[in-house]
Amino acid sequence: MSVTGLPFDDFRVLLRDLPGPDSQALVTARDRDRQLTKPPGSLGRLEEIAMWLAAWTGRAPAVNRPLVAIFAGNHGVARHGITPFPASVTQQMVENFAAGGAAINQICAANDLGLKIFDLALDYPTGDITIEPALSERDCAATMAFGMEAIAGGTDLLCLGEMGIGNTTIAAAINLALYGGTAEDWVGPGTGSQGEMLARKIAVVKQAVEFHREHLSDPLEVMRRLGGREIAAMAGAILAARVERIPVLIDGYVATAAAALLKAANPSALDHCLIGHVSAEPAHMRAIDKLGKTPLLALGMRLGEGTGAALAASIVKSAAACHSGMATFEQAGVTNAGTH
C-alpha cells in the first residue's frame, strides 16, 4: 500500500498530476488526415477517434492489442432484495466467462479482442452501504491498485466492464452522491427490478446516501463508502491506463459510475476515455452528460460485462485502420480539392 501515509495518498498524488495529451502526435495525425483520399471531415467521428488515439497514445493511431477487462465483485447491499438474481450468479458468470459461454466471449471472438477476467474476493461481499462503508480505505486502495494490473500484459486499447449482482444499485448511489437530485433520478431496473423490488432499490439508495452524507465531498470516500470492488478496480485501471498512455473505452451504467468518481477528483481524468455505448438503463444518458461525453453506440443493450465497450472497440479499430491504411491523394493519384 502507500509508503506516504494513508492508503489513498498515492492515488491522490496520481490524480493531481495526470499526463496530458501529446500535441505533437496530434499535429502529425491531423496533417496526415488532411492528405487521405476522402473529402475533409467525411469520416465524421472516425476522424475524431483517430485524433484522440494519437493524442493519448503519443504516436500514429493504431490498435493492435485491444483488451476487454472484466472485474467481478459481490455486494453486501444485495441482501436487501434489490435485484431479481441471487448474488451467487456473479461467481457462476465468472465461470461462464472462463468457459466461453457469455455474451462478452462471443463479442470478443467476433471482433478479435483479448479478454481477461479479474474476480475480486467474491466470497467476501462488500459492506452493506445502508449501514456501513462498502470498503475500508486500505481495502479500497488495494483494490484500485489491483485494478491497475489490467494493463500489465500489454494492450493499446482497454475496454472496461464488470460483473457484480447488485451493482446497478451501487452505481445509482454513487451518482446520487456525486450529482444530487433524487434516488428516483438515478435508479433503474438493472437486470429487471420492478414494482416493489424497484421501490426497495430506490429506498436503499436513498438510505445509503443519507447514512454517509457527512463524508461525500471527497470522491475517493464516495468510492469506498458507496462503491464496490469492481468499481474501485475499474477506477484503478482507468488511472493506470492514463499513466501508460493507453486509451480506454468505458461500458455501461456501472462502469460509467466508476469513471465518474475519477472525473469528480480531477476534471481531466477521463480525457483518455470514450464511452462505448449508452445502455438502456434510463439514467445512463444523464450520467454520460455529466461527464461531457457522447457515447459511440446506442444499441438498447443493458447487459454490462463490457459488451458495449467491446462493440465500440470495433469502431475504434476501424478509425485507426482508415487513418493508417488509406492512401494519400498523392499516392493514389486522386485529384484533391483546390489542386485542379
Ligand X SMILES: Cc1cc2ncn([C@H]3O[C@H](COP(=O)(O)O)[C@@H](O)[C@H]3O)c2cc1C
Ligand Y SMILES: O=C(O)c1cccnc1
| Residue selected from 126, 143, 167, 256 as contacting ligand X according to rule CB under 6 A | 167
How far is residue 97 from each of residues 105, 187, 308, 320, measured CA to CA in Å? 7, 27, 16, 28
| Residue selected from 25, 165, 187, 223 as contacting ligand X according to rule CB under 6 A | 165
Q: Total number of residues binding ligand X (CB under 6 A)? A: 18
Question: Which residue lies nearer to ligand X by CB, 25 or 205?
Answer: 205
| Residue selected from 85, 179, 211, 329 as contacting ligand X according to rule CB under 6 A | 85
Out of ligand X, ligand Y, none, what residue 54 binds, judged by CB under 5 to 8 A for its kind, is none
Catalytic residue among 47, 162, 230, 305: 305
Question: Which residue lies nearer to ligand Y by CB, 228 or 304?
Answer: 304
In this structure, how many other beta carbons lie within 10 angstroms of the beta carbon of residue 114?
16
Residue 7 grid coordinates:
492508503
Cα–Cα dist 282/267, whole Å: 24
Question: Which residue lies nearer to ligand X by CB, 119 or 162?
Answer: 162
Question: Which residue lies nearer to ligand X by CB, 11 or 253?
Answer: 253
Q: Are 19 and 239 in contact (CB under 8 A)?
A: no
Buried b (16+ CB within 10 A) or exposed e, 141-168: bbbbbbbbebbeeebbbbbbbbbbbbbb
Residue 40 grid coordinates:
475533409
How far is residue 7 from each of residues 15, 144, 163, 242, 264, measured CA to CA in Å? 14, 10, 25, 20, 19
Name residue 163's beta-bridge partners: 72
Instruction: Point out which residues bind ligand Y (CB under 6 A).
Output: 168, 190-191, 251-254, 279, 281, 284, 302, 304
Binding mask 182-201 for ligand X (x = CB under 6 A): --------xx-x--------
Min dist CB 253 to ligand X, Å, is 9
* 305 given a catalytic annotation: yes
User: Which residues are near ligand X by CB under 6 A?
Assistant: 83, 85, 89, 93, 162-169, 190-191, 193, 303-305
Give the residue numbers annotated as catalytic, written as ranges. Answer: 305
